[in-house]
Structure formats: C-alpha cells, structure tokens
Amino acid sequence: DVKVTQSSRYLVKRTGEKVFLECVQDMDHENMFWYRQDPGLGLRLIYFSYDVKMKEKGDIPEGYSVSREKKERFSLILESASTNQTSMYLCASTTGTGRTEAFFGQGTRLTVV
C-alpha cells in the first residue's frame, strides 16, 4: 500500500513563527503536492514538485515556500505564520506519469494563534 505520512496531525503555532510541515511517501513517486483545505473552498494547491529540487507554484503560494531535497520528502514552510493560515494541510503524491490517482497523507490541522 502507498503510504504518505505527514509529521503531525495537529499543530498550534503563534503568529510570526516559522512553521515546517513535513511529508514523506514510500512509493518512489516523482510528483508531490501540498494543498490546504478550508470549508466552502475545497482543496487549493499551494505548491507542487516533479522531482528533487524542483518546485512549481500552485494557486495560492503567497506566504509559503517548499523544499524537496530528497525524492521521498516534501516540506512546506510557513515563513511567518499568520492567523489566516489556520487550515487543514494535505500532502499528496502521484507516479511520474501523473495519470493515476493522488494518494494523500492524513492531513495536518494547523491553528495559528
């Protein structure tokens, strides 16, 4: 079974803190994605990556950055957390062809206070 693991289920951080969300997949997938999910807005793409050290902006990259130093790991960084970044964050991965379904991590519910 494909496994996508996010480092934390729940996080509470203070405004202005630098926050790291980690995601690891064990199926040698080339593509990895970070989404946030908010009520009524659905999943919105923050960043994605096709390969190690490659990254592409999604629909809402402002206030975020990413890092992919190893194929299996894709990190999302909130440079200076703000209350409007309180959300559910979901990591996903797919194979290199990208023509198959996305596999999701269990999600990280981040609260910024």
Partner 1 sequence: RKEVEQDPGPFNVPEGATVAFNCTYSNSASQSFFWYRQDCRKEPKLLMSVYSSGNEDGRFTAQLNRASQYISLLIRDSKLSDSATYLCVALDWGTGNQFYFGTGTSLTVIP
List residues binding partner 1 (CB under 8 A).
31, 33, 35, 40-43, 45, 48, 50, 56, 88, 90, 92, 94, 98-107, 109
Report CA-CA distances (Å) from 41 to 5, 36, 84, 109: 24, 9, 14, 16
| Least distance CB 81 / partner 1 (angstroms) | 21
Cβ distance to partner 1 smaller for residue 24 or 102? 102
Cβ distance to partner 1 smaller for residue 40 or 84? 40
| Least distance CB 9 / partner 1 (angstroms) | 9
Cβ distance to partner 1 smaller for residue 18 or 96? 96
Token pair for residue 9? Answer: 């289920």
Please name the residue that has the structure tokens 């990591």: 91
| Least distance CB 97 / partner 1 (angstroms) | 8
Token pair for residue 8? Answer: 């934390």
What is the dihedral angle through the alpha carbons of 79, 42, 56, 95, rounded to the nearest 10 degrees? 120
